[in-house]
Amino acid sequence: MHVIIVGGGIGGLALAAGLRRHGFEVSVFDRDRDVAETAGYHITLDGRAQAALRELVAPEILERLLRSASALRLRDRDALWDRRGHLLAFGPRLEDNPGVDIDRITLRTVLADAVGPDLHPGWTVTGIARAADGAPSAVFADGAAHQGDLLVGADGAHSMVARYLAGGPTNEPTGIIGFSGRTGAEHLSAAERQRLGARSGMAIGPHATALYIGFLDPVGNALLDAPAGREAITTGPTYIWGAMFPESSATDAMRTLRGTALRSALLTAFGHRGWSRHTLEVIDRAEPSSIAAFRFNAASPRAQDLAPWAAGSVTALGDAVHATPPTAGMGAGAAIRDAASLVANLRAVASGTTTLPVAVSSFEAEMRIRGSETLVAAMRTVRWMRATDTRLGAAVTATATPVLAAAHRLGRRHRADRPAAEARTGDRVRRHG
Ligand SMILES: Cc1cc2nc3c(=O)[nH]c(=O)nc-3n(C[C@H](O)[C@H](O)[C@H](O)COP(=O)(O)OP(=O)(O)OC[C@H]3O[C@@H](n4cnc5c(N)ncnc54)[C@H](O)[C@@H]3O)c2cc1C
């Protein structure tokens, strides 16, 4: 069976690697000329995404990825701050968390190596054609076509393939826009470095403003003690942040800016919404060329709305079907798990135990559930952000967060006092006993 994959992003490359590993013929076409020319943020892969990768790639490829990953369990607990930098709460303990963080560039580059010459960079697919027997072809701008038995759209949130199948867009803007960037910890003041710590966190403000700050350190927090084989592009403690705002004509204008002009505009936009200057140091000290805008698009979180087409010899996976805002950090993991599911179903076709339409239908049914789960998780944050953009929501956020911060400080002081008080009580108990 020959499988054509439109899109060599995370999902398309994971699928191609898995298909090759199990003896399928595969051709991947991606419009990017170089796989390393991809966004500079990091990807969190949970235990399920890693298990799927283990199915898809050869052990030596997985080893290369894990050598370049940092372990979530080595990070301090996540934090929630207000716009003045006051701590509101800590997230759950991470000691038992099996998740890993990896540079997106490293993930894509290593997966591309697993696909080898079957990846065709610099090829933009512009349409789909069908032979008389229904066999699908990818069509290119110059009219050339490449035919296969199955065509898979792994072409991301603005998928041409999913649009062809669904007869229209499969997702829509959420009304939130994100700007991400990278800041080496060594560029921050000692005070800010200490406040942020070796943890990821989120700062919230009124009017749907938020600042996610992810901590990535594939060296200090390396998953494996294997410095020789490390391919991470991040070589020291780094904060990878995402500034979030409601979409408006002002954010449209910001999207046209680059480098230091965009960085200044972000600082001004937060300043107008009452954010303390010191909490924005991570933006102020960012590498200007790393700053980029991402519009948060989302598909429907209802499983029955996803992949709304009859199963056949053209299908799609990943963001093409269940485009997910990055607020849950699960989109790439879901695309990888889609790929593992499709490979498993196609292997059943190859072994003669099922037919292609049945295998594709079973894969799409599994993907609907997975996509819905991912979207429900990601939309929780988006909905909550949008709620702070009403007059009431903004007032509640502005008044409630200082109270929460004070409650957290008091709680900490109480916990700090408690051991001493308990020791004194213990002394008394022992003396009286
Ligand atoms: C700032 C940010 C942080 C994120 N963090 C995380 C995280 O921590 N964990 C996580 O799991 N997910 C995360 N995500 C989400 C994740 O990046 C996506 O969900 C994931 O990349 C989707 O994979 P995909 O293969 O479906 O699409 P993509 O990775 O977007 O790949 C699509 C590919 O198709 C190609 N393409 C598009 N159209 C065509 C065409 N017509 N012809 C040829 N090629 C085409 C593109 O060049 C691209 O390479 C984050 C996203 C953002 C924006």
Centre of ligand 1 to C-alpha 428, Å, is 62
CA distance 338 to 153: 12
Beta-strand ranges (E) seen in 338-433 are none
Is the Cβ–Cβ distance between 306 and 371 less than 8 Å?
A: yes
Beta-strand ranges (E) seen in 196-246 are 201-205, 209-216, 238-246
Mean pLDDT of 424-433: 36
CA distance 39 to 19: 26
Residue 409 — very low, low, confident or very high, per pLDDT cuts 50/70/90?
low
**Cα–Cα distances in angstroms (integers) from residue 150 to residues 168, 193, 285, 360, in the given order:** 21, 51, 48, 9
Q: Is 294 in the pocket of ligand 1 (CB under 6 A)?
A: yes
Degrees, nearest 5: CA angle 103-159-298: 70
Between residues 133 and 392, the one the model is more confident about: 133
Is the Cβ–Cβ distance between 3 and 137 less than 8 Å?
A: no
Centre of ligand 1 to C-alpha 332, Å, is 7
Q: What pLDDT score was predicted for residue 423?
A: 44
CA distance 169 to 147: 25
Nearest CA to ligand 1 atom 19: 331
Q: Is 155 in the pocket of ligand 1 (CB under 6 A)?
A: yes
Q: What pLDDT score was predicted for residue 349?
A: 98
Beta-strand ranges (E) seen in 52-208 are 70-71, 79-82, 87-90, 100-103, 119-121, 125-130, 136-140, 145-147, 150-153, 172-184, 201-205
The verdict on pTM exceeding 0.85 is yes
In tens, the pLDDT along 374-406 reads: 999 999 989 888 887 776 666 666 666 666 666
Centre of ligand 1 to C-alpha 331, Å, is 8
- Say if strands 119-121 and 25-30 run parallel, antiparallel, or are unpaired: parallel
Q: What pLDDT score was predicted for residue 39?
A: 72
Determine the atom of ligand 1 nearest the C-alpha atom of 35: 49
Determine the atom of ligand 1 nearest the C-alpha atom of 14: 25
CA distance 39 to 28: 20
In tens, the pLDDT along 181-202 reads: 999 999 999 999 999 999 999 9
